[in-house]
Amino acid sequence: MGELTHLDAEGHPVMVDVSGKPETEREAVAEGWVHLPESVYDAILENRIRKGDVLKIAELAGIQGAKRTASLIPLCHGIRLDQASVRCHLVPDRKAIRVECHVKAREVTGVEMEALTGVSVAALTVYDMCKALDKGIEIRNIRLLMKKGGKSGEYKVSEGV
Protein backbone atom coordinates (compact mmCIF):
# COMPACT_ATOMS: atom_id res chain seq x y z
CA MET A 1 0.00 0.00 0.00
CA GLY A 2 1.27 3.48 -0.86
CA GLU A 3 1.81 6.39 1.48
CA LEU A 4 -0.75 9.10 2.10
CA THR A 5 0.32 12.11 0.06
CA HIS A 6 -2.35 14.61 1.10
CA LEU A 7 -0.59 15.50 4.37
CA ASP A 8 2.54 17.58 4.84
CA ALA A 9 5.31 16.80 7.36
CA GLU A 10 3.30 18.42 10.17
CA GLY A 11 0.11 16.54 9.29
CA HIS A 12 -1.67 19.43 7.59
CA PRO A 13 -3.75 18.74 4.47
CA VAL A 14 -2.22 19.76 1.14
CA MET A 15 -3.12 19.32 -2.49
CA VAL A 16 -0.38 17.15 -3.99
CA ASP A 17 2.11 18.94 -6.26
CA VAL A 18 1.76 17.34 -9.70
CA SER A 19 3.59 20.08 -11.61
CA GLY A 20 6.54 17.83 -12.49
CA LYS A 21 4.50 14.90 -13.76
CA PRO A 22 4.06 14.20 -17.49
CA GLU A 23 0.62 13.99 -19.07
CA THR A 24 -0.47 10.44 -19.88
CA GLU A 25 -3.67 8.78 -21.01
CA ARG A 26 -5.92 8.19 -17.99
CA GLU A 27 -9.11 6.16 -17.85
CA ALA A 28 -11.43 4.97 -15.08
CA VAL A 29 -14.73 3.12 -14.75
CA ALA A 30 -16.86 3.05 -11.59
CA GLU A 31 -20.21 1.54 -10.72
CA GLY A 32 -22.89 1.80 -8.08
CA TRP A 33 -26.32 0.37 -7.40
CA VAL A 34 -29.62 2.03 -6.51
CA HIS A 35 -31.95 -0.52 -4.90
CA LEU A 36 -35.61 0.42 -5.17
CA PRO A 37 -38.88 -0.59 -3.56
CA GLU A 38 -40.93 -2.46 -6.16
CA SER A 39 -43.44 0.38 -6.55
CA VAL A 40 -40.65 2.84 -7.35
CA TYR A 41 -38.97 0.42 -9.75
CA ASP A 42 -42.28 -0.03 -11.59
CA ALA A 43 -42.89 3.74 -11.73
CA ILE A 44 -39.46 4.27 -13.33
CA LEU A 45 -39.98 1.36 -15.73
CA GLU A 46 -43.34 2.77 -16.80
CA ASN A 47 -42.00 6.38 -16.92
CA ARG A 48 -44.52 7.58 -14.30
CA ILE A 49 -42.17 9.86 -12.35
CA ARG A 50 -43.52 13.41 -12.55
CA LYS A 51 -40.07 15.01 -12.61
CA GLY A 52 -39.19 13.34 -15.94
CA ASP A 53 -37.17 10.45 -17.34
CA VAL A 54 -35.26 9.34 -14.26
CA LEU A 55 -32.57 7.37 -16.07
CA LYS A 56 -31.73 10.05 -18.64
CA ILE A 57 -31.71 12.88 -16.10
CA ALA A 58 -29.51 10.81 -13.76
CA GLU A 59 -27.09 10.15 -16.63
CA LEU A 60 -26.82 13.87 -17.36
CA ALA A 61 -26.39 14.67 -13.66
CA GLY A 62 -23.65 12.05 -13.38
CA ILE A 63 -21.72 13.60 -16.26
CA GLN A 64 -22.05 17.00 -14.58
CA GLY A 65 -20.86 15.46 -11.31
CA ALA A 66 -17.78 13.98 -12.97
CA LYS A 67 -16.96 17.39 -14.45
CA ARG A 68 -17.37 19.13 -11.07
CA THR A 69 -15.41 16.69 -8.89
CA ALA A 70 -12.70 19.19 -7.91
CA SER A 71 -15.42 21.57 -6.64
CA LEU A 72 -16.82 18.88 -4.35
CA ILE A 73 -13.71 17.05 -3.08
CA PRO A 74 -11.30 19.59 -1.55
CA LEU A 75 -7.93 18.04 -2.43
CA CYS A 76 -8.79 16.81 -5.94
CA HIS A 77 -7.09 18.50 -8.87
CA GLY A 78 -9.19 20.09 -11.59
CA ILE A 79 -9.21 17.66 -14.52
CA ARG A 80 -9.86 18.42 -18.18
CA LEU A 81 -11.99 15.41 -19.04
CA ASP A 82 -11.79 14.34 -22.67
CA GLN A 83 -14.73 11.97 -22.31
CA ALA A 84 -17.37 11.20 -19.69
CA SER A 85 -20.36 8.91 -19.99
CA VAL A 86 -22.86 7.61 -17.48
CA ARG A 87 -25.25 4.75 -18.13
CA CYS A 88 -28.15 3.76 -15.89
CA HIS A 89 -29.55 0.28 -16.50
CA LEU A 90 -32.67 -1.19 -14.91
CA VAL A 91 -31.93 -4.64 -13.47
CA PRO A 92 -35.30 -6.42 -13.11
CA ASP A 93 -34.22 -9.37 -10.95
CA ARG A 94 -32.71 -6.99 -8.36
CA LYS A 95 -35.33 -4.22 -8.61
CA ALA A 96 -32.36 -1.92 -8.95
CA ILE A 97 -30.54 0.47 -11.23
CA ARG A 98 -26.90 -0.21 -12.04
CA VAL A 99 -25.04 3.06 -12.63
CA GLU A 100 -21.73 3.04 -14.51
CA CYS A 101 -19.48 6.02 -15.23
CA HIS A 102 -16.58 5.90 -17.70
CA VAL A 103 -14.13 8.81 -17.96
CA LYS A 104 -10.99 9.52 -19.98
CA ALA A 105 -8.43 12.31 -19.93
CA ARG A 106 -4.89 13.11 -20.97
CA GLU A 107 -3.67 14.44 -17.63
CA VAL A 108 -0.95 14.38 -14.97
CA THR A 109 -3.16 12.73 -12.35
CA GLY A 110 -5.77 9.98 -12.31
CA VAL A 111 -9.48 10.21 -13.02
CA GLU A 112 -10.79 7.66 -10.51
CA MET A 113 -12.46 10.31 -8.36
CA GLU A 114 -14.27 11.71 -11.40
CA ALA A 115 -15.69 8.27 -12.24
CA LEU A 116 -16.73 7.65 -8.62
CA THR A 117 -18.28 11.11 -8.32
CA GLY A 118 -20.19 10.63 -11.58
CA VAL A 119 -21.73 7.42 -10.22
CA SER A 120 -22.51 9.04 -6.87
CA VAL A 121 -24.24 12.09 -8.35
CA ALA A 122 -26.26 9.94 -10.77
CA ALA A 123 -27.39 7.69 -7.89
CA LEU A 124 -28.27 10.70 -5.73
CA THR A 125 -30.29 12.12 -8.62
CA VAL A 126 -32.34 8.90 -8.81
CA TYR A 127 -33.02 9.24 -5.09
CA ASP A 128 -33.97 12.90 -5.41
CA MET A 129 -36.36 12.25 -8.29
CA CYS A 130 -38.07 9.30 -6.59
CA LYS A 131 -38.02 10.08 -2.86
CA ALA A 132 -41.60 11.39 -2.89
CA LEU A 133 -42.79 7.86 -3.74
CA ASP A 134 -40.74 6.04 -1.09
CA LYS A 135 -37.82 7.00 1.13
CA GLY A 136 -36.66 3.35 1.26
CA ILE A 137 -34.38 3.75 -1.76
CA GLU A 138 -30.85 2.52 -1.02
CA ILE A 139 -27.61 3.53 -2.71
CA ARG A 140 -25.02 0.76 -2.38
CA ASN A 141 -21.69 -0.59 -3.51
CA ILE A 142 -20.14 2.42 -5.21
CA ARG A 143 -16.70 1.27 -6.28
CA LEU A 144 -13.93 1.61 -8.81
CA LEU A 145 -14.03 -1.15 -11.43
CA MET A 146 -11.00 -0.18 -13.50
CA LYS A 147 -8.32 2.46 -13.89
CA LYS A 148 -5.50 2.82 -16.41
CA GLY A 149 -2.59 5.18 -16.73
CA GLY A 150 -0.07 6.86 -14.54
CA LYS A 151 2.70 5.65 -12.28
CA SER A 152 0.51 3.23 -10.30
CA GLY A 153 -0.41 1.38 -13.50
CA GLU A 154 -3.58 -0.57 -14.13
CA TYR A 155 -6.21 -1.71 -11.64
CA LYS A 156 -9.15 -3.97 -12.36
CA VAL A 157 -11.60 -5.27 -9.77
CA SER A 158 -11.49 -9.03 -9.44
CA GLU A 159 -15.07 -9.90 -8.49
CA GLY A 160 -18.66 -8.74 -8.98
CA VAL A 161 -21.15 -7.42 -6.45
- Active-site positions read 128
Q: In the sheet where 138-148 sits, what is the strand order?
A: 83-91, 96-107, 24-35, 138-148, 155-156
Contact 21, 106 (CB under 8 A): no
Q: What are phi and psi of 124, to 5 degrees?
A: -65, -35
Task: Give the whole-angstrom CA distance, residue 141 versus residue 139.
Answer: 7
Q: What are phi and psi of 160, to 5 degrees?
A: -90, 175
